[in-house]
Structure 1
């Protein structure tokens, strides 16, 4: 896997679009699959939103989260879509409000480091690890990215590729990392080189780990 470069004006992609990550909590694996299927069916049946490039659904390996990773041409395109859904009083794209599904968050970010282009013989990702980091402003977003780059310079053989997302409000950095398997990621983070049990941001003011979850890609829809 190519090391993730520190964020700077030179590494930011020219694409002005945004990425929205939206997480939903469910009771168990049965509800997880039903929620994902219902949501993706709605994306395919309803008129495709203007400016939406793609939507990917991922299921957490613990059976309790459904995540949607959507790419949009611009932030206004995404905001118009949200307003249209609310104004139209349509069924939520995730499912029935009485189904025990809880919306946790929706984070609007810009892509800071572009996803790599794996070679033809690169393994298929068996696991996607999403690590969320809280940051007190844009400058600390850059510092967090630099620290991640330093710890990933010597990648584990199970790592395939990854990219960073900076939330537009400066409050979060998300690392999206592809791995050959869940076991490979577990092995990698067990080593002290990743900062030990308290994480690589231990002792860094204004930066702190929020969450880490492993997912598997489930379905994708696009225009």
Structure 2
């Protein structure tokens, strides 16, 4: 849990900071966790309260579903177009899952990085590795752990949507995913969702203020030191 002695950093408080008013390069924030550890809840809260970050929208070959919007939920493309994008190296990472292809297009994200906008990724450790290999300097990797395996099982069972067999399979997969925790820059234990959210906001604040990303500092410091 977050240290109660520390100020509770939130996206609203980040936006008001003087240093953040200087131009900076954006970043790519990855949140990974086993199912049930709270990643989706944290991601939704960040997207709802931080105007500087938006969710990555993947391209996919799977058919559009009722209620989905092209360009908001996914970029829906046919297999020929997806293969062309792969050949043209237009993806940061891509994979085929159950006969459908999914990939992260580069163009929009690269434009946001230059403009100082951040992009949030909800991907597993394999996608994280691919993304990091392609854009190491821009990537911030956060892994969210459950407080215990027992609590993770309780959360999955509490959903009431899966059979015992499905839950057993999810638990086995969760343990495999947890074994990759050391491939991340930050690891946060989600024993309290509010504290976990505050910690991730603190991580985001610190990463935004890194000197290498504060591209506006060069001109600012020159003005300060000008005779």
Structure 1 and Structure 2 fold alike (TM over 0.5): no
Shorter-chain TM-score category? under 0.3
Which of the two has greater helix per residue? Answer: 2
TM-score (norm 2): 0.23
Larger radius of gyration: 2
Larger relative contact order, structure 1 or 2 (CA cutoff 8 Å, min sep 6)? 2
TM-score (norm 1): 0.23
